[in-house]
Structure 1
Amino acid sequence: MPYADVGGDIRLFYTDDGEGPPLLLVHGWGADSHQWSWHIDALAAAHRVVAVDLRGHGYSSVPDDGNTPRMMAEDLSVLLGILGVPQVVAVGHSMGAQVVSILAVEHPELVRGLVAVDPGYGMTDRVASRFPKTIAGLRGEHPHAAAERIDKWCTNAGTPPVIRRWHKRRLYGMPPHVLAQAFEAMFTAPDAIGVRPASDDYLARRRCPVLSIWSDQEQASWESGLLKDPASKVVCWEGASHRLHEERPGEFVDLVEEWLGAQS
């Protein structure tokens, strides 16, 4: 499988399948590109599909610091140049939706469209008030147990056990400092964009079409007010969990393909 040296001693693992308009698939916090195993074959039937392990995750390099969405987005901009991909539709789940949104804002020439899957942004003050305690747990004596407590929020009674087990095993294989750095950078660092109103201000700078898929109607309604391009669309799958694209992979691929087709 391919690796790419993107600078600063960072080596990214990625896969590159199919032919056609390129898609970039970006996983969430504490996961890796295997998260897209439910979707790659179907998407690669009509697209070139690049799925990457972000720095600190999966088979990619694990630096001592800099494991943040902003640095991850910079890595991706370099990777696209190495692959000779001038422009992509970038698909990101959770933290990955932050990463691809940053890529779209800071490198708008590289992103012709975004798919944000139950994004890791737009948190309210009520939710964010718990984050300092969460980060203390991630930096504490039992970081993986703290990460597992976070992950329980990501599922519900309808989530298949295999998906719960899959994510638990990956979390326990993660370097603890990466979990802590990435979570802090998403939500509590000075330049974090994960909590309102910082989310509003930053995400309003996205100029490309956005398909945003949420499991929460309030969050979906909130983001609909931020989207600038008339081709943008917000969908809510009520009753789904944070892992909605893994729970309903066929519906997810159909929705993405339908939306992409409307952009052609």
Structure 2
Amino acid sequence: MGFAAVAGVRLFYTDDGSGDTTLLLVHGWGADSHQWAQHIPSLARKHRVIAVDLRGHGYSSAEKKGNNPVRMAEDLVELLDRLGIERFVAVGHSMGGVIVSRLAVEHPSRVAAVVAVDPGYGRPDEVVAMAVAMRETPAVQIDAWCYTPASPGWLREWHRRRLLATPPHVLAEAYDGLWSGEEAIGSRGAAEPYLSRRECPVLTFWTDPAQAAWETDLFKHPASRTVCWQGSGHRLHEERPAEFLLVVNQWLKEISR
């Protein structure tokens, strides 16, 4: 636990707990692995839990170029290789949901299941157009859409500070990788053929029922399902950690039978 040299960057990670199942926790854009601080103690009681700061985020280093979801996914594969972890459940929020889905598609023999939390894929064209148009907007202003009036003030401040601490070129590259890059799956047109290649069980949390209904048609595994929490903000797992853990733990128990 600590730091690992991977593909030219120095990744910070923690390694907690033990058990037959390993969980890989992947944070979102402009955040870091502290995003999972409310969840790790509970998850680590029954599972081995790896939580990573993606390249350019948190305590991990950044390259001048290559700070995008595609490269970040491969960083994680290399890290898990070094840790001797062959198979795992990949859990990701927002951009992390894109990354764990990429892992499931590109490395299907290694990903036992995916949990995606309000993932940054499959959005309607008008949402993608708005996201692309906001590319030059300061990150803390982009982040404003992540909250509802019920979102706690500490959560807004925590993420504001994380965004301010993330190198601007990393934020820009990662943002492009989500919405406008060659391999971006932010739009439904790009996401549908790609996500349809996920063969493993998938549990997805959404705040929008239309998004939940859309993704349901893409599932291949019979144990896959969506959960929709209307009224929650984008970081619903941080706003409602106890409920999130209850649902995830129960689902993991179901698919392990």
TM-score, length basis structure 1: 0.95
Question: Per-residue CA shift, 1:182-203, capped at 9, x if unaligned?
Answer: 0111111122111111011111
Q: Number of residue pairs matched? A: 255
What are the superposed Cα offsets for residues 83-130 of structure 1, whole Å, 9 maximum, x if unpaired? 111101000000000001111111111100000001111111111112
Separation of aligned partners in 1, 2:136 and 2:51 = 31
SS of the residue corresponding to residue 234 of structure 1 reads strand
- What residue in structure 2 maps to residue 189 of structure 1? 181
Which residue of the partner structure matches residue 237 of structure 1?
Answer: 229
**DSSP 3-state at the match of 2:29:** coil
CA RMSD of aligned residues (A): 0.8
The aligned counterpart of 2:207 is 215
Alpha-carbon distance in 2 for matches of 1:170, 1:58 = 8
Residue in 1 aligned with 2:167?
175
Work out the CA distance in 1 between the residues paired with 2:107 and 2:99.
12
Counterparts of 1:136 and 1:18, CA distance in 2: 41
- TM-score, normalization: structure 2? 0.97
Q: Give the 4+ runs in structure 1 shifted more than 4 A.
A: none
- 2:82 maps to a residue whose letter is I
Q: Secondary structure at the match of 2:139?
A: helix
Q: Is the 8 A contact 1:89 1:112 kept in 2?
A: yes
Note the 1:1-264 alignment, pairs <5 A.
1-7=1-7, 9-20=8-19, 21-137=21-137, 146-264=138-256
Displacement of 1:162 in angstroms is 0.6
Contact conserved, 2:26 with 2:91, CA < 8 A, in 1? yes
Contact kept in structure 2, 1:87 and 1:112, CA below 8 Å? yes
Distance 1:108 1:54 in 2: 21
Q: Which amino acid aligns with 2:216?
A: S
Conservation of the 8 A alpha-carbon contact between 2:196 and 2:219:
yes
Shift of 1:59: 0.7
Counterpart of 1:129 in structure 2: which amino acid?
A
The code of the aligned residue for 1:125 comes to D
Amino acid in structure 2 at the alignment position of 1:263: I
Instruction: Give distance in 2, aligned partners of 1:191 and 1:222.
Output: 20
Taking only the aligned residue pairs, the percentage that are identical comes to 56
Matches of 2:70 and 2:115, distance apart in 1: 18
Is the 8 Å Cα contact of residues 131 and 188 (structure 1) preserved in structure 2? no
| Alpha-carbon distance between aligned partners in 2 of 1:149 and 1:225, rounded to the nearest angstrom | 33
Corresponding residue SS for 2:63:
coil
Distance 1:128 1:22 in 2: 34
